Structure 1
Amino acid sequence: MTDPASYRPRPTRLGHLVLKVRDIDRSLAFYTEVVGLSVSDWIDHHMVFLRAGEDHHDLALLQLPPGHSAIPEGHYPAVEHFSYRLETLAEMEQVAAMLVARGITIDRGIGKHGPGANSFLVFRDPDGNNVEFYTDMTQITAEQPYEASVWDGKDLETFDRWHLDRFLVPPPARILALLDKDGDA
C-alpha cells in the first residue's frame, strides 16, 4: 500500500473566498452594485453567499462580531478561507489521509454544507491560513435556476448536512455550543 503522506492532490481550480467584513449590508451593496455579483443564499443576517457565474458562490461575506467597525491603523479585514475544487469525495478522503499522515492541522471537515451543498475539508497552511478543498457545489444556470433563501445559523444542517459523521476533528466551538444547547453532544 502506498504511504498516505505521499499523496498529491489534484485541484482543478481556485474555487471561492470568504471575507470577514465589518458591515455586511455595506459590503453586500458594494459587491452587488459595484462588482455586479448576485446573492445565492444567506445564513441568518451573518453570512451571505455571492456568485459571478454558475457556482453557488465564489465569494462569501462573513460579518465580524460587534466592535470591528473602524479599520485599525495598519490592519485590514481578514480572509476566513480560500478554496480549491477537487473532482470527487474519494479524492477528498485521500487528501484527508495525507494531511493526517503529514501532521497538518485540520480545522474542520470532512462535512457537507447546507448553502451550496458542497462537501468541505479545511486545514491550515504553515502561516495559519485556512485552506479548503471542496467538491460538488450547487450549480446555478438558466436551465437550473435557483432561488436564494435564508438558512438558520443555529441549525446543524446549515453547517453540516452529514451531522459531523465524517468529521476528522472536533467541530468548531460555535457548533459544539449548538450541540450542547440541543443536547446532541
Structure 2
Amino acid sequence: MNIGGKIKRLRLSRGLTQEELAMRTDLSRSFISQLESNKTSLAVDTLEKILRALGTDLKAFFSEEEEAKIVFKKEDRIPVYDEPEGITSYLLMSDVETKKVDPTLVTLAPGAQTEEEGYHEGDEFGYVLQGRVDLWLDGVRYRLAQGDCFYYRADKKHFLKNPSKKKDAVVLWIEID
C-alpha cells in the first residue's frame, strides 16, 4: 500500500495544502511532504493524528475498498425485463444504487410507449439516438427527433412514445437523483 500517496489524495480531496495539514497536526510541512512522497516512515500515533485531521480513521484508511468501475462494456448491460410490449431497455451501468445517475438505453418499437411514471424525486435527461419520440409531461406532448434531447424535473407524470409506424426509436434516458 502506498501510504504517502493515499494521504496525499485524502489531503487534496479535503482541499488542504501541506502547510494547512501540518498546522492541524502540529507537524512540519517538510515532514508532510516527505511522508506523501514516501521518503519517511511514521509511527502509528502520528498516522492516527494525520487521519483525524483529514476526517477519517485507521480502519477506514486501511480498508481495501474495491476500485470503482470506470468502463462499462456493451456486454455488461443489464436487461430490464418488466417493460411493456415493444420496449427493450438496458441499464448501462451496474451498481446504480450507489450512483446519482441511472442511465438506460431504451428502444421503442413502432407505436410502443413506456409505462407512465408518476411523480418522483430527481431529474431526467434523454437524448434521441435514433428515430422520433413524443415526450409526454402531465398531458403535454413534446416532439423530438434524432439528435434532440430533453431535461425535466421528475415532478410530472411522464412517458415516451414512438409515433412512427415503421421505425424503431432509441433513446439514452438518464435518471438523476
TM-score w.r.t. structure 1 length?
0.22
Which has more radius of gyration?
Answer: 2
TM-score w.r.t. structure 2 length?
0.23
User: Whose helix proportion is higher, 1 or 2?
Assistant: 2
